Amino acid sequence: MIAFRQILLICTLALLAICAALFSLLSGSVELTLADLFRLPTATQSELATQIIFDIRLPRTASAFVVGGLLSLAGVIMQVLLRNPLADPYILGVSGGAAVGALSAILLGASSFWLSQGAFFGALFSILLVFFIANGLGRWSVIRLLLTGVVVSAGWGAVINLLLTTSTENTVQSMLFWLMGDLSQSRVSPIHWALLLAGLAGGLFLSRALNVLIQGDQQALALGVNVSALRFILYFAASVLTASAVKIAGSVGFVGLVIPHMLRMLGARDHRLLIPSAMLLGGSFLIVADSLARTLIAPQQLPVGVVTALIGVPTFIVILRKSISREA
């Protein structure tokens, strides 16, 4: 019975992802129909529908799914690592380092390629900085890691404010758009898809250990789990997934926080089910959010991070109230 419910949930989320992708491909300032999609295999490259789908909407839809999947997987891992249901992928300063790298590239007038590279290497630097500071202060612990991440995040915030205040008006607008999350120029490569699938496979491989670790270190040690090594792996895995997502789309909030909570409320507490479900639902959620960002005030576009916040804040409040009522 449990296996059937798990399969049903996965199939439902997979169907939801397909529907979200179709919604994204068909919605926009130029309306398309399902018939236009079915004609694509025989259509010529000069046709308007072909150009719109393959040059604009399909790359953006793929980017949204990959980013949503990466952030959701990172959120699940981070909440286990810190044993904190309020933890999200950005809590340890990864997004701050990425933002400093990206904003520095914008300030220097670099191309979009160097902007994404600056974001990735800034995030990578922040990952290593937090790790070495937390380890240098003594024995590895969750509290020390969390406090180090919060302090480093505050430092990155000061640098971001400095960059914003010393930039020109046009540059500041580009910086703010990136900080709020933007998929308009995003493209994903096979490397990003491989990273998403590697995160899924690695999460499933470690799912039993995650189920034990979330119960506490003592229970995990008693059952033979190497807690120190597992935390080391989880920290770098979540950080690399987050850094890759930020490199593609900037700082998109609430995906890694809300999606795992939503799935746990649906009964997906076993990480063998939670991990693939989070990837599918996170990808679907960001596809829909990006579609709304493109169409709500067309022809203008909203940063996708604004839409995820508008959806995520009330959703999280509802989830929080329901969880409190269950405990009471």
Contact 184, 301 (CB under 8 A): yes
Number of helices and strands (H, E) in the chain? Answer: 15, 0
Torsion angle, alpha carbons of 120, 126, 129, 134, to 10: -130
| Average confidence score pLDDT of the chain | 87
Choose among 224, 267, 278: nearest CA to 79.
278
The residue segments making up the domain with residue 242 are: 2-327
What confidence score (pLDDT) does residue 1 get?
46
The region that residue 317 occupies, defined by phi over 0 for left and psi between -120 and 50 for alpha, beta otherwise, is alpha
Contact 113, 84 (CB under 8 A): no
Residue 120 has pLDDT above 50, yes or no: yes
Residue 283 has pLDDT above 70, yes or no: yes
Using 50, 70 and 90 to split pLDDT, how confident is the model at 326?
Answer: low
pLDDT tens per residue across span 146-194: 888 889 999 999 999 999 998 888 888 888 888 888 888 888 999 999 9
Residue 22 has pLDDT above 80, yes or no: yes
Using 50, 70 and 90 to split pLDDT, how confident is the model at 86?
Answer: confident
Q: Using the Cα atoms of residue 177, residue 85, residue 267 and residue 72 in order, give the sign of their dihedral.
A: positive
Residue 14 has pLDDT above 90, yes or no: yes
Query: How far apart are the C-alpha atoms of 125 and 143, rounded to whole Å?
Result: 21
pTM listed for this prediction: 0.91
What confidence score (pLDDT) does residue 233 get?
92
pLDDT tens per residue across span 32-72: 878 878 777 776 655 777 888 888 899 999 999 999 999 99
> What integer is the mean pLDDT of 233-246?
92
DSSP state of 108: T
pLDDT tens per residue across span 204-220: 999 999 999 988 878 88
Please state the domain count of the chain.
1
Residue type, 182: D
Query: How far apart are the C-alpha atoms of 94 and 243, rounded to whole Å?
Result: 7
CATH number, domain of 240, equals 1.10.3470.10
